[in-house]
Amino acid sequence: MLETLRNAWRVPELRRKILFTLLIILIFRIGSVLPVPFIDVEALKSGMQTANAGDFFNYLSILTGGAMNYGALFAMSVTPYINASIIMQLLTVAIPPLERIAKEGEEGRKRIAKYTRFATVILGLAQGAGYWWWLHASGYINASTTWETVFSAIVIILCFTAGSALMMWLGERIDEKGIGNGISILLFAGIISRVPTGIAALWHYFTELNYYVQVIVILLILLATIVFIVWMNEAERRIPVQYAKRVVGRKQYGGQNTHLPVKVNMSGVMPIIFASSILMIPTQILAFMGTSATDNGWYKVLSLFSYDSWMYAIIYFALIIAFAFFYTTIQYNPVEMANNLRKNNGAIPGIRPGKPTQDYLQKILKRVTLIGAIFLGVIAILPIVVGQFSQINVSLGGTSIIIVVGVAIDTVKQLESQMMMRHYKGFLD
């Protein structure tokens, strides 16, 4: 990886792209510590520090690079954009007119992107309103009169929404002029910025609390997890495919043997994001209810879904597996894959074209998806299990680790492909 970065730095065009990406990350980090007006930053920081490490808002703080602790401009990060993208993906499958637009090529992609931006702003306003309500209920708003409260609500909600829209725009600029996927790079930068805090926490456990064995075990598990994620991201099931020979005039076409790759983790981190979004709802309601409602029956029921409980881990694991199959179903159609093979005179050895090929592909997809889903589930609940046995709060969750490792691998691959392209360009000239 370091060799790739060093070689990329020697190419002037790639060096400009890297510097542009670093500039965008710098702007993102400034916006992550720039407080929004009317928020009592010191009280908010104190409240977030005393909160439980598995708390809903602390979880969001990890994904936002600590921006939530400061009530900063980028406190909501790109979560409205991610949610809008997920909604548009689902609507594209469910609504035929949107499906037709998505299949119109580049022009259709631009229209879908436009609709996603509008949805991002709408979701940003809704999420910003919820965030303001929580800040106001917790006493973190500097407003004494009714008019000040109303005006602060307008300013804070608009600032948070504008911050999310700006982050979306910064991500698109990285896609256009930088290196890697823009939104993923910003998430990567936010999560990485929390690493020093995690290291300081582990050092505190190691030196002051004398948790020597626990800290060493956690570090070994973290290293093994990273290696395992890299291995699973690259793993794939290769289905052999043979193409029949065709003779046109004096030329012969086809006849080659190839394979159809099926990635083990084909759904990526999306099932974890879906499951987290659902399980965040009861945790968020608990945060809004406050500790004064502990005798309430609903409070006791919702407490079962707290981050550090076994019930949360079990439901989380089950939802990840369910969403992995759901996401694979809407992304990969065995019927369409079998038809494409038949149209191109391709066939799987030992499998008849048509319905048998479709059934065979369906069986392979189910098995591979199950392996990938179990992998995602284990990685996601691993911090919860480690926290239960080690008595150490592990703030860097499985979702964060998968995002960091995945973005790093994809960015390095993109650099390598661009260097290869430029190398052969000079050769061909």
pLDDT value for 284: 63
The top-level CATH class assigned to 1-194 is mainly alpha
Q: ∠ at Cα 187 (108, 219), nearest 5°? A: 140
Q: What is the mean pLDDT of the chain?
A: 79
Query: Band of the pLDDT at 27, cuts 50, 70, 90?
Result: very high
The top-level CATH class assigned to 196-394 is mainly alpha
Model confidence at 389: pLDDT above 90: no
Maximum mean pLDDT: which of 57-71, 79-93, 117-131, 309-323: 117-131
pLDDT value for 61: 67
Model confidence at 170: pLDDT above 90: yes
Query: Band of the pLDDT at 306, cuts 50, 70, 90?
Result: low
Residue with tokens 């290769």: 238
**1-194 with 196-394: one CATH topology?**
yes
Q: ∠ at Cα 110 (107, 111), nearest 5°? A: 90
Crossing angle of helices 12-31 and 398-428, rounded to 10°? 160
Strand-by-strand arrangement of the 346-347 sheet? 257-263, 236-243, 346-347
Model confidence at 142: pLDDT above 70: yes
pLDDT value for 162: 94
Inter-CA distances, 166 with 9, 28, 82, 163, Å: 28, 9, 14, 5
For the segment 202-231, the average pLDDT, to the nearest whole number, is: 78
Residue with tokens 């005039």: 249
Query: Band of the pLDDT at 426, cuts 50, 70, 90?
Result: very low
Question: How many helices and strands in the chain, by DSSP H and E?
Answer: 18, 5
pLDDT value for 117: 92
CA atoms of 406 and 272, how far apart (whole Å):
14
336 or 399: which leads in pLDDT: 336
Query: Band of the pLDDT at 425, cuts 50, 70, 90?
Result: very low
pLDDT value for 200: 77
Residues 6+ apart with CB under 8 A from 400: 62, 63, 191
Model confidence at 118: pLDDT above 50: yes
pLDDT in tens, 276-297: 767 776 766 666 655 555 556 6
- Sort 220 into a burial class: Cβ within 10 Å, 0-12 / 13-18 / 19+: exposed
Which of 126, 125, 115, 124 has the alpha carbon at shortest distance from 88?
A: 115
pLDDT value for 269: 73
Using DSSP's 3-state secondary structure scheme, residue 320 falls into helix
DSSP-assigned letter for residue 346:
E
Model confidence at 154: pLDDT above 90: yes
Residue 39's DSSP bridge partners are 141
For the segment 251-272, the average pLDDT, to the nearest whole number, is: 75
Model confidence at 23: pLDDT above 90: yes
Per domain, the residue ranges of the chain are: 1-194, 196-394
pLDDT in tens, 173-185: 998 888 888 888 8
pTM: 0.76
